[in-house]
């Protein structure tokens, strides 16, 4: 079943062009409008929603961070996000004017199920983004937006994450279309950007080997840091989780501007810092944070978009992703990060598909 791939994780990373195509299939019409009959919320119903909540665990939570950004920027509806194991213990402000979006690959995560039930108990409608039709979450939610990533075998989530990101982009555009917060031209150009993503991921995967050298250089390091601002920070969190769960190397993700508020003390000669710099408006700001780290001896790998060659002046190595709209950059930027964690654990000889202490589906609270 793994075909030519040594591990399911590598196979699933390489399936992403297909799983992205499947997740958008049938959901974009000839006029670049988003079609989601599974979410029959009318303009009036959406207008009544004062606030949305996104609730999930782990990688799905990281997808939610991008979802919050997309929904807020396209609809201007405030979106709160919470970790499912925290949500219901803090008496969340949820009512029938709240739409709660739960995200779960398996649809069986105990804390996420409990958050769903608590939200419904408080009168909210729950929309589930899930990869398993017929799962507990799919059955209990009021609306289901299915990701079409297919079965994910490797414990470390890859293709389900990018499918969740895409689902959020489609959802944000759909809400904006219904609420008319976006003009047709802007929506259409965003949708054109979405259509290019599978091919752009293919291009990234064709250069997968390039990331191997950086993986080699972090094998013997005690700690790795990921930094980024805005959406790049959301990707940094996911990149860091991916690395620690399969390589067992300690890593942290920081909002780049936070480094100097404490964590910079950890940076010493040779400390690997991976800087995500895809956010064009925040480019200069992140570069100045890279310089702070470099001045303390960090070895920096920058991830940016094609054309930003000036980054090469401030980093030791750089990895370029294809140009896309800012909102979609996480779908591309995460791919080299998935490969980095894969090749690092491969070189360390770890059990990549079944990392120690972890289970694919967490059915205990
Ligand atoms: C990490 C990973 C986990 C899951 C989390 C939620 O690679 O897979 O962090 O994302 O356990 O699982 P689901 O999405 O099934 O609710």
Q: What is the Rg, in whole angstroms, of the alpha carbon atoms belonging to the chain? A: 20
Q: What is the pLDDT of residue 363?
A: 85
Q: What is the pLDDT of residue 352?
A: 93
Q: Identify the burial level of 122 via C-beta atoms within 10 angstroms of its C-beta, where 0-12 means exposed, 13-18 middle and 19 or more buried.
A: middle
Say what the pTM is: 0.98
Mutation pick for ligand 1 pocket among 60, 108, 341 (CB with most ligand atoms within 8 Å):
60
Q: Give the three-state DSSP class for 102.
A: strand
Q: Which pLDDT tens digits describe the chain residue by residue (365 residues)?
A: 888 999 999 999 999 999 999 999 999 999 999 999 999 999 999 999 999 999 999 999 999 999 999 999 999 999 999 999 999 999 999 999 999 999 999 999 999 999 999 999 999 999 999 999 999 999 999 999 999 999 999 999 999 999 999 999 999 999 999 999 999 999 999 999 999 999 999 999 998 888 888 888 898 898 999 999 999 999 999 999 999 999 999 999 999 999 999 888 999 999 999 999 999 999 999 999 999 999 999 999 999 999 999 999 999 999 999 999 999 999 999 999 999 999 999 999 999 989 888 888 888 88
Ligand 1 atom at shortest distance from the alpha carbon of 58: 9
Residue nearest to atom 10 of ligand 1 (CA): 59
Whether the CB-CB separation of 189 and 216 falls below 8 Å is answered with: no
Q: What is the pLDDT of residue 97?
A: 97
91: its two tokens: 């008496």
Which ipTM score applies to this complex?
0.99
Q: What is the pLDDT of residue 89?
A: 93
Q: What is the pLDDT of residue 321?
A: 97
Per-residue burial over 322-343, b if 16 or more Cβ lie within 10 Å, else e, is bbbebbbbbbbbbbbbbbbbbb
Residue nearest to atom 5 of ligand 1 (CA): 58
Known active-site residue 294: no
Q: What is the pLDDT of residue 293?
A: 95
Q: What is the pLDDT of residue 185?
A: 96
């Amino acid at each position: 079943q793994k075909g030519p791939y040594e591990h399911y994780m590598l196979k699933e990373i390489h399936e992403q062009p297909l799983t992205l195509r499947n997740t958008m299939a049938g959901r974009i019409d000839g006029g670049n409008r988003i079609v989601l009959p599974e979410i029959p919320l009318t303009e009036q119903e959406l207008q009544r929603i004062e606030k949305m909540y996104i609730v999930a665990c782990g990688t799905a939570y990281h997808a939610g961070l991008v979802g919050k950004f997309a929904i807020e920027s396209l609809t201007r509806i405030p979106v709160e996000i919470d970790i499912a194991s925290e949500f219901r213990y803090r008496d969340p402000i949820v009512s029938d004017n709240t739409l709660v979006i739960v995200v779960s690959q398996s649809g069986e995560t105990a804390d996420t199920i409990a958050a769903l039930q608590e939200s419904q108990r408080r009168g909210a409608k729950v929309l589930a983004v899930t990869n398993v039709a017929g799962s507990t979450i799919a059955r209990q939610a009021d609306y289901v937006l299915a990701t079409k990533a297919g079965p994910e075998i490797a414990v470390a989530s890859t293709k389900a994450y990018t499918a969740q990101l895409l689902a959020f982009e489609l959802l944000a555009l759909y809400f904006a279309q219904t609420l008319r917060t976006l003009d047709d031209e802007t929506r259409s150009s965003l949708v054109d950007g979405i259509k290019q993503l599978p091919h752009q991921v293919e291009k990234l995967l064709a250069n997968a080997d390039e990331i191997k050298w950086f993986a080699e250089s972090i094998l013997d390091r005690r700690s790795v840091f990921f930094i980024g601002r805005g959406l790049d920070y959301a990707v940094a969190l996911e990149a860091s989780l991916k690395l620690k769960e399969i390589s067992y190397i300690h890593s942290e993700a920081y909002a780049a501007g936070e480094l100097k508020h404490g964590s910079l003390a950890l940076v010493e000669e040779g400390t690997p810092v991976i800087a995500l710099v895809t956010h064009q408006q925040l480019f200069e700001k992140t570069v100045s944070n890279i310089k702070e780290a470099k001045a303390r001896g960090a070895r920096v790998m920058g991830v940016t978009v094609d054309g930003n060659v000036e980054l090469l002046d401030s980093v030791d190595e750089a990895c370029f992703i294809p140009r896309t709209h800012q909102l979609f950059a996480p779908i591309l930027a995460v791919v080299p990060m998935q490969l980095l964690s894969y090749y690092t654990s491969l070189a360390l000889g770890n059990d990549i598909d079944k990392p120690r202490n972890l289970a694919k589906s967490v059915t205990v609270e």
